[in-house]
Amino acid sequence: MNDPTLVGIAQLAIAKAPEQLCCLGLGSCVAVFLYDPELKLGGVVHVLLPKAPQNHEVEEKYADTGIRKLVGQLLARGAKKERLRAKLVGGAQMFPNLNLQITDIGAENCHEVKRVLRELGIRVVSEDTQGNRGRSVVYNMADGKALVSTAFAPQHVI
């Protein structure tokens, strides 16, 4: 099988079976995976921050605008919104002891991602989020499964 396509920070990609999409080294970023099991069509957006400011350049950088763009592209490729299901990976807090006015961006990202998905009526079927470990993930369009790996623990499927 071909190597999975890398989806970097603030990038979005669509793929269908048998292709795979991956995100490497997710910290506070969240990889949002939406999948239509009937078409075996899915897409990933790798968001860095929760909410887009007024004048933003890159929609894919933010959870709210990024997810809407991803849904739009999937629907344009024939996916049906009521069939879409979401899997979430990332949103960790990598430096929990920094005593500054830095909020937990990972948690905020997760919160915003779920809020937007709820608004759109898309169900989150599984997630591996928050905590304080980085993650890498490979999404398989053939079966909609996500293979998550971390620095020191064994891989697992969600």
Give residues in contact with another protein (CB under 8 A).
Answer: 8-9, 24-29, 48-49, 53, 56-58, 61, 92, 94-100, 102, 105, 132-136, 150-152
**What minimum distance in Å lies between the beta carbon of 88 and another protein?**
15
Catalytic center residues: 29
C-beta of residue 5 within 8 angstroms of C-beta of residue 12: no
Amino acid, res. 100: L
**What minimum distance in Å lies between the beta carbon of 145 and another protein?**
20
Name the nearest CA neighbour of 131 among 63, 18, 47, 30.
Answer: 30
**What minimum distance in Å lies between the beta carbon of 17 and another protein?**
25
Tell me the C-alpha distance between 100 and 152, whole Å: 28
The two three-digit tokens of residue 132, written as one number: 């304080």
Give the residue with the Cβ less far from another protein, 7 or 116.
7
